[in-house]
Structure 1
Amino acid sequence: MRPSLKRRLSEDRGVSILEFAGFLPILLVIGMAAIQLGLVGYGINQAGSGARAAARVASQDGDGSGAGQAAVSGWLNPDVPPPAKGADTTTATVTVHVPSVIPLFDDVTVVRHATMPTDD
């Protein structure tokens, strides 16, 4: 091996780990943002399912709030007020609170509504 090539290889030692260490925080933030987006999507899905369940049960003269609570994962802290029952339709609203995994950001609140025809 030529002396200049050998010297150049020994000078480059440790540079790649420094580049990785500098890029690691960016990778972590991107990963946490992806997880947060997944949690928000899950929260939207859960709120919609809870609202549909609450409206369906309340339209058949059942406990819509209880059905909405049961349809949503408990760690999302669902808020299911009694559905509004009208002459033709029943509307339920579910609010869930998705926790933030990224520091310095607030939790995300998701609200979903569902309307079902009222059974007579």
Structure 2
Amino acid sequence: MVFSAPDPPLPVSWGASPPNPLLRGLRQPGLWAGVPQGGTGGHNPDHRPQPPRGPGRSPGFGKGRVRGNNTPDHGSVSVEFLGFLPVLLAVALAAITLGLAAFAAQQATTGARAAARTATLDEPRTGPEAAARSAMTGWVGDRATVSAGRCPGQNVTATVTVTVPALLPGTGFHVTRHATMPCPDPGLGEGGP
């Protein structure tokens, strides 16, 4: 059998290391600074926590950020943000405009289908334009132009054009959707085949 030697005992002066051998790997400056330390090294007679020292730390640590040439940079982040703010707003408004355009296109498709379906009816209760506007959301229906033919052709095509509101100057545009429905066969009267 092979026996290994036990770990050596901790020195009397453990400095910034913890007293527990299980926590021996923790050597963080400032973590144990408030603990009374015995022995010769790192004596702190006031038992007050000390600010951490290390690379990039100075005796004036915590008194404001200072650049290499000792000029304070207070407020520089605010100025940089104000310079970038118009770009952020333009991107946000462009994203909202694209969302409105997608919604308007979907609503225009719904309106065109309703107009074409109504135009194919023998005795419609309402006209194709009114059917298209009632199938769309209020603000889309108010900005839409609807045109639909009538049967007795083979097919009826309805066209709905919606103006997308311009949130940025020069970005206004139109969305147009078409829907085609077959007209009923005049030979299939009452009684059918």
TM-score between both structures, scaled by the size of structure 1: 0.85
Which of 61, 77, 83 is residue 16 of structure 1 equivalent to? Answer: 77
Q: Please say if residues 72 and 78 of structure 1, whose CA atoms lie closer than 8 Å, have aligned partners that are also in contact.
A: no
- Residue 54 of structure 1: SS of its match in structure 2? helix
Amino acid at match of 2:145: D
Structure 2 equivalent of residue 113 of structure 1 = 178
How far 1:75 moved relative to its partner?
2.1
How far 1:60 moved relative to its partner?
1.5
- Return the structure number with greater helix share: 1
Amino acid at match of 1:68: A
| CA shift in 2, pair 1:69/1:83, >3 Å | farther
Structure 2 equivalent of residue 75 of structure 1 = 139
Structure 2 equivalent of residue 30 of structure 1 = 91
Distance in structure 1 (CA, Å) of the matches to 2:95 and 2:180: 32
Counting matched residue pairs gives: 119
| CA shift in 2, pair 1:16/1:57, >3 Å | same
How far 1:73 moved relative to its partner?
2.6
Structure 2 equivalent of residue 101 of structure 1 = 167
> How big is each residue's C-alpha offset from its partner over 1:99-120, in whole Å with a ceiling of 9 and x where there is no partner?
1011x21521111110012123
How far 1:91 moved relative to its partner?
0.8
Structure 2: gaps of 5 or more residues? 1-57, 186-193
Structure 1: gaps of 5 or more residues? none
Amino acid at match of 1:66: A
RCO (CA 8 Å, sep 6+): is it higher in 1 or 2? Answer: 1
Is residue 108 of structure 2 the alignment partner of residue 47 of structure 1?
yes
TM-score between both structures, scaled by the size of structure 2: 0.55
Q: Please say if residues 119 and 151 of structure 2, whose CA atoms lie closer than 8 Å, have aligned partners that are also in contact.
A: yes
**Identity of paired residues, percent?**
42
- Return the structure number with greater strand share: 1
- Deviating above 3 A after TM superposition, structure 1's stretches of 4 or more consecutive aligned residues are 3-7
Distance in structure 2 (CA, Å) of the matches to 1:23 and 1:115: 48
Amino acid at match of 1:60: L
